[in-house]
Amino acid sequence: MRLAQGEAKVVDLVGCVGLAQSTVSAHLSCLRDCGLVDSRPQGRASLYFLARPELLDLLSSAEHLLAATGEAVDLCPTYGTPAAPAPDRDGDNR
């Protein structure tokens, strides 16, 4: 979604998604190989941008779908977030 707002450096995206720089760079490389994002050099860095305008519609639809169903998916016993184990009587989680 950050790239929908315009070009961004890897460091900008790291701040948005909270992942390691190496992880963000690897994802961007994959997305670039797939033709979904592109980049242009700016000094020693690169600015990344969405390569296809149709992605804006897709991202908007995904946001609407997640807003409508996100809680249901999170609560799903198969695919949702696992509940933390209850502590034992002595406070240990073993």
Note the pLDDT tens digit of each residue in 23-80: 999 999 999 999 999 999 999 999 999 999 888 898 889 888 888 887 777 777 777 6
Which positions ≥6 away from 3 have C-beta within 8 Å?
13, 37, 48, 49, 50
Count of CB atoms situated within 10 Å of the CB of 3:
21
* Residue whose entry in the numeric block shows the structure tokens 């002595």: 90
pTM value surpassing 0.75: no
